[in-house]
Amino acid sequence: MNLKLVLRLALAALVVAALTFLAVQIGGRRPQPEAAPGLQAGPGGPFTLVDTAGRPFTQEDLKGRWTIIFFGFTFCPDVCPTTLDTLGRTLESLGPAGEKVRIVFVSVDPERDTPAKMAAYLDNPAFPKGVVGLTGTPEQVAVTARAYKVYYEKDGQGDAYLINHSSISYLMDPSGRFARVLPYGMAPEDLAAQVRDAMKRG
């Protein structure tokens, strides 16, 4: 291969690299598309489920109050009862501000968690009062889980199966929009501080 051909190939490679770099830079400056009406960039979005009385509950019903929403199932051996207990103590730590916050528990086990089963489970005196329990058809639950970017998967066979699922909770503001993640395992006092900070920011 002669020197002129080598130089031409090298020059061509440099031109291609320069054009690629320029295209990436221009693309990086391009405005990101806005979410379609009724949707939002973070966790959350349109859904339809039913509460423990069998009444429809949608995204619109989240409006008007701060909401802590988490996903689980009534046969959960540890994460779900621990989360309910922790969130109950979080509301206590908030003092009067806790009256502005409600807890919503969405089942990812619609095969077993009927409205009646959810009602009986949440009636446990060890859990905070006033928790909104939601369930629905497998399709409705799947839509809701996708909207909130929640992972869940059936583990096992027969009636004694478990559900592997995400353990975080989401704080939604009074307009029904995502405010922040509330990690599993955080102390109630620290969660309360997170909620207070979100309330200050509006």
pLDDT value at 7 more than 80: no
Residue 176 has pLDDT above 70, yes or no: yes
Distance separating alpha carbons of residues 98 and 29, to the nearest angstrom: 42
Domain ranges of the chain: 1-31, 48-201
- pLDDT tens by residue, 130-168: 999 999 999 999 999 999 999 999 999 988 899 999 999
Contact status, residue 42 vs residue 156, Cβ threshold 8 Å: no
Q: Taking the CB of residue 51, how many other CB atoms lie within 10 A of it?
A: 17
Check if the beta carbon of residue 170 is closer than 8 Å to that of residue 183. no
Quick one: which of 154, 153, 181, 149 has its CA closest to 168?
Answer: 181
Q: Name residue, tokens 């409006």.
A: 63
For residue range 50-109, list pLDDT tens digits in order: 999 999 999 999 999 999 999 999 999 999 999 999 999 999 999 999 999 999 999 999
The residues facing 178 across adjacent strands are 172
How many other CB atoms sit within 10 Å of the CB of residue 193? 15
What pTM, to 2 d.p., does this model score? 0.80
Contact between 73 and 163 (Cβ < 8 Å): yes
Strand-pairing partners, residue 170, are: 69, 181
Overall fold of domain 48-201: Glutaredoxin (3.40.30)
Tokens of 59: 């995204």
89 closest CA partner among 200, 172, 186: 186
The structure tokens listed for 30 are: 């391009």
Encode pLDDT of 109-134 as tens digits: 999 999 999 999 999 999 999 999 99
